[in-house]
Structure 1
Amino acid sequence: MATRRSSAFLFAAAVLACACALGAMAARDLADHQAMVAKHEQWMAKYGRVYTDAAEKARRLEVFKANVALIESVNAGNHKFWLEANQFADLTDDEFRATRTGYKPASGKGRRTTTGFRYANVSLDDIPDSVDWRAKGAVTPIKDQGECGCCWAFSTVASMEGIVKLSTGKLISLSEQELVDCDVNGMDQGCNGGEMDDAFQFIIDNGGLTTESNYPYTASDGTCDSSKASNDAASIKGYEDVPANDEASLRKAVANQPVSVAVDGGDSHFRFYKGGVLSGTCGTELDHGIAAVGYGVASDGTKYWIMKNSWGTSWGEGGYIRMERDIADEGGLCGLAMQPSYPTA
Structure 2
Amino acid sequence: MLRGGTTALCIRSVLSCLSGFLPRRLYSLADDFHSLPTTSGEPAPTMWSAAFCLCAMLSGAWIPAVQAQATLPPDLSMTQTVRVFQDFMRQFNKTYQSPEEAQHRFKAFVHNLGVSRALQASELGTAQYGTTRFSDLTEGEFAEMYGMSRRSRAPPVARADGEVFSFRSKSCDWRKAGAITEVKDQGKCRSCWAFATVSNIEALWNIHQRVQRNLSVQEIIDCSSNTTGCQGGHTWDGFLSVFESGGLSSCTLYPYVGKDQPCQKYRKRRVTPIDGFQILPRDEKNIATIVASKGPVTAEFNMKFLQNYQNGIIQRPAEDCDPNYRDHVGLIVGFNEGKSRRGSRTGPYWIIQNSWGEHWGEKGYFRLHRGTNACGIAMFVATATVKDSTTKKPMRCPHI
Question: What TM-score, normalized by structure 2, do the two folds share?
Answer: 0.72
| Other-structure match for 1:213 | 252
Q: Displacement, 1:102? A: 2.3
Confirm or deny that 1:170 pairs with 2:211. yes
Out of 227, 249, 272, the position equivalent to 2:286 is: 249
| Other-structure match for 2:270 | 232
What is the DSSP-based 3-state SS (H/G/I as helix, E as strand, rest coil) of the residue aligned with 1:235?
coil
RMSD, aligned α-carbons? 2.3
Evaluate the alpha carbon distance shift between residue 314 and residue 283 of structure 1 in structure 2; reply closer, same or farther with a 3 A threshold.
farther
Out of 129, 145, 157, the position equivalent to 1:113 is: 157
Q: Percent identity?
A: 29
Confirm or deny that 1:292 pairs with 2:337. no
CA distance in 1, matches of 2:187, 2:247: 24
Cα contact 2:122–2:316 (8 A) shared by 1: no
Higher alpha-carbon deviation: 173-182 or 72-81: 72-81
Q: Displacement, 1:103? A: 6.4
What is the DSSP-based 3-state SS (H/G/I as helix, E as strand, rest coil) of the residue aligned with 1:69?
helix
Residues 19-168 of structure 1 aligned to structure 2 (within 5 Å): 26-27=28-29, 32-76=77-121, 79-102=125-148, 104-107=150-153, 110-114=154-158, 116-117=160-161, 120-123=163-166, 126-168=167-209
Out of 364, 369, 377, the position equivalent to 1:324 is: 369
Cα contact 2:301–2:327 (8 A) shared by 1: yes
Q: Displacement, 1:240? A: 0.6
Confirm or deny that 1:277 pairs with 2:313. yes
Q: Deviations over 1:271-327 (max 9, x none)?
A: 222111111232321010101111113442411111111011111110111111113
Letter in 2 for 1:99: M
CA distance in 1, matches of 2:116, 2:265: 45
Q: Deviations over 1:131-190 (max 9, x none)?
A: 11111221101011011101110111111112111221012121111111222x31x121
What is the DSSP-based 3-state SS (H/G/I as helix, E as strand, rest coil) of the residue aligned with 1:321?
strand
Query: Unmatched 5+ residue regions in structure 1?
Result: 1-21
Q: Displacement, 1:232? A: 3.4
What is the DSSP-based 3-state SS (H/G/I as helix, E as strand, rest coil) of the residue aligned with 1:66?
helix
CA distance in 2, matches of 1:149, 1:190: 8
Question: What TM-score, normalized by structure 1, do the two folds share?
Answer: 0.83
Letter in 1 for 2:164: N
CA distance in 2, matches of 1:214, 1:222: 15
Letter in 2 for 1:221: D
Evaluate the alpha carbon distance shift between residue 261 and residue 77 of structure 1 in structure 2; reply closer, same or farther with a 3 A threshold.
closer
Evaluate the alpha carbon distance shift between residue 111 and residue 233 of structure 1 in structure 2; reply closer, same or farther with a 3 A threshold.
closer
Cα contact 1:132–1:295 (8 A) shared by 2: yes
Cα contact 1:190–1:221 (8 A) shared by 2: yes
Confirm or deny that 1:223 pairs with 2:267. no
Q: Deviations over 1:16-61 (max 9, x none)?
A: xxxxxx9986128989334323322221222122222111111111
Higher alpha-carbon deviation: 36-45 or 143-152: 36-45
CA distance in 2, matches of 1:50, 1:69: 23
| Other-structure match for 2:235 | 196
CA distance in 2, matches of 1:40, 1:247: 40
CA distance in 1, matches of 2:239, 2:191: 14
Cα contact 1:101–1:289 (8 A) shared by 2: no
CA distance in 2, matches of 1:335, 1:307: 14
Cα contact 1:149–1:193 (8 A) shared by 2: yes
Cα contact 1:105–1:286 (8 A) shared by 2: no
Evaluate the alpha carbon distance shift between residue 301 and residue 164 of structure 1 in structure 2; reply closer, same or farther with a 3 A threshold.
same
Query: Unmatched 5+ residue regions in structure 2?
Result: 1-23, 34-62, 64-76, 340-344, 387-400
Evaluate the alpha carbon distance shift between residue 232 and residue 106 of structure 1 in structure 2; reply closer, same or farther with a 3 A threshold.
farther
Name the count of aligned residue pairs: 309
Q: Displacement, 1:93? A: 1.7
